[in-house]
Every structure is written in C-alpha cells, then in structure tokens.
Amino acid sequence: MTVLSDSASRTPPLGVSSLNGKSGSGGGGALVRRLRTSAPVLPFLSYVILVLGVPTVAIINYAFRSNSGHFTWQNIHTILSGGQFRTGFETSLKLALVTAIIPGILGTFIAYAISTSSHAPFKRISAATSGVLAQFGGVNLAFMFIASFGFVGVATKWLNAIGVDPWSHGFDLYKFWGVAFVYMYFQIPLMVLIITPAFAGLHPAWREAAENLGASRWRYWRHVGIPVLTPAILGSMFLLFGSGFSAYATAEALTTGTISITPIQIGSILQGNVIAGENNIAYALAFAMIVILLITVVGYVLLRRRTSRWLR
C-alpha cells in the first residue's frame, strides 16, 4: 500500500489543463503541416490569379460597359445581332470544329500505331517530336507553309512537276481551308500527346479475356476498346476545339487579317484599325470566347472523369 501510494503521489494527475495543452499543440501541428503542404501551391495560385483571374475580371467588367462607363447590354447585342462580328464568331466556331474532328481522328490512329509498337526508341522519338510540333505555331509556321505550299512554294512546284496543281483545283492557303490545313500541323501532334496515355491505360487482361472467350480483334475493339476510349477521345477533341478556337498568331501572320475570325477581329479593334471607340466591343468578343472556352473545359473535365473510371 505504501509503494502504491508513493507512486501515485509522484504521478502527475491527468487534468483538464494537460488535455487542453495536448489538443492545442496537436491543432497547431496540424496547422503547420497544412501550411507546409499548401506552401508550394501558393506561387501557382498567385500566377493563376494575376495572369488569368485579374484579366478575366477586367474583360467581364468592360464587356458590359459603354464608352461613358455605364452598364449596358449593347456590346453583347452588337456581336450577336449580325454583321461582321457574328460572322467572325461563326467562322471561328467552324474552324475550331474542323480542326478538332479531323486531327482528332488522325491523331487517334497515329497514337494507336505508336502505342502498339514494341520499339521503345520509336515511342520516345515520337513523343518528343509530337511535343515540339504541338508547340510550333505563329509567324514561323505561317512562313513555313507559305514557302512550301504558297502559290510559288517549293512543294507547289514539285506538285506542278508531276502534273498536280492544287491551286488550280480550288486550294487557297490564305482562306478558310488553307488556315485549317495549317492548323492541323500542330493539332495532330497535340492529339497524339493527349490520347496516347489513354491507349496505355487499356489493360492487356481485357484483350486476353476477350480472346479466350473467342472474340476477334474487331469485336474486342467494338465492345471493349472503343467504348472505353470514346470519352477520352471526345475529351481530347474538346481540348483541340479550344486550341483551334483561340489560336491567333498563325492565322494573322498567314492571312494578314483577310479571314474573319474572332481573335483577329479583337486584335484589329485593340490596334485601332476600326472605328474609334469600339474597344468595349473587343472586350465583349473576348467575353464570348471565355464563355465558349469555359464550356469546352467543363466538357473536357466531365469526360475526363468518366474516363478515369476505367483507364487507370
């Protein structure tokens, strides 16, 4: 009894203050850990806010302002009621749709050929080449196509030498289909970069199970491969649509503004090449583009979420 009482007297009681101290230190430690975890993200969030958030807020603000600074719907009504601005918007949507579907299909077949190859160096070279070509655009790309497929370009002369003259059959590098042809130069590699990981996500066990059950290769792709990959392919096409819809420098350098698309119209207004006092029209056009791109991103995210259920 004496030993127990002595040990009990030396043991500090577990009171409310000690519990509060432990909980307080635990809460402080959790807060420190949370700050350490989120600290590396802060520079990125700052970048997003400064580069994307602030300009977006400014565009939305000026899109609904008159020249005198009052709130108005007139700018939105002007770009949607008809005329050159609506024509440019429709042309931009058509151009984005064409340069999303055709490169999306071609890029999917190329990505399939790359993913099924057993040559590792070929896969690495294809990935590196696609990464470079997907970022190649602007003035350099426009000059390359003018020098190659222009009216007196090198490739045009070669085709003329074998009796094929694309210009005499309706081809025009400086009109809609010419611009779409140039856009495919970087849209196809972009599709290859985006969709190749999806092919890698197809589990070999699925093919083996289909073969063991007697399914042919076509039936495997029809009932397993294509249904699983369809959301990924459509989501990638959404990204291509956004890329083609917002591209500016290549079309501007190639056509010098003769084709009516929304990015070129915005540039012309901000450069003062139209009637003075229409700067808010440019902001309204930019706001409309933001809405379209936002819908594109939402569609991509929803399809990507559906794809992630299977391709992991």
SS3 119: coil
Lowest average pLDDT, out of 14-18, 99-103, 166-170, goes to 14-18
Other Cβ atoms closer than 10 A to 237: 27
Within a domain: residue 45? no
The dihedrals phi and psi of 65, each to the nearest 5 degrees, come to -120, 145
Of residues 99, 177, 181, 92, the one with CA closest to residue 144: 181
Query: Across all residues in the chain, what is the average pLDDT?
Result: 84
Q: What is the pLDDT of residues 178-187, one digit of tens each?
A: 999 999 999 9
Three-class HEC string of 136-162 = CCCHHHHHHHHHHHCCCCHHHHHHHHC
pLDDT (average), residues 152-173? 87
Within a domain: residue 223? yes
Residue 196 has pLDDT above 60, yes or no: yes
Domain range for 110 is 83-307
Q: What is the pLDDT of residues 102-126, one digit of tens each?
A: 999 999 999 999 988 888 888 889 8
Residue 283 has pLDDT above 80, yes or no: yes
Q: What is the pLDDT of residues 244-277, one digit of tens each?
A: 999 998 999 998 878 889 999 888 887 776 655 6
Within a domain: residue 75? no
Q: What is the pLDDT of residues 215-227, one digit of tens each?
A: 888 898 888 888 8
Question: What is the distance between the alpha carbons of residues 66 and 225, in angstroms, rounded to a whole number?
Answer: 53
Cβ neighbours for 167, distance < 8 A, ≥ 6 positions apart: 151, 156
Strand partners, 65: 71
pLDDT at position 3, please? 43
1: confidence class by pLDDT, cuts 50, 70, 90: very low
Within a domain: residue 112? yes
Within a domain: residue 230? yes
Within a domain: residue 137? yes
pLDDT at position 238, please? 94
Count of structural domains, the chain:
1
Strand partners, 71: 65
Token pair of 158 as six digits: 């070669």
Within a domain: residue 22? no
Percent of residues, the chain, with pLDDT higher than 90: 38
pLDDT at position 203, please? 84
CATH number of the structural domain spanning residue 230: 1.10.3720.10
Kindly report the pTM of this predicted structure.
0.82
Within a domain: residue 9? no
Q: What is the pLDDT of residues 4-54, one digit of tens each?
A: 444 444 454 544 444 444 444 555 677 777 777 777 888 888 888 998 899
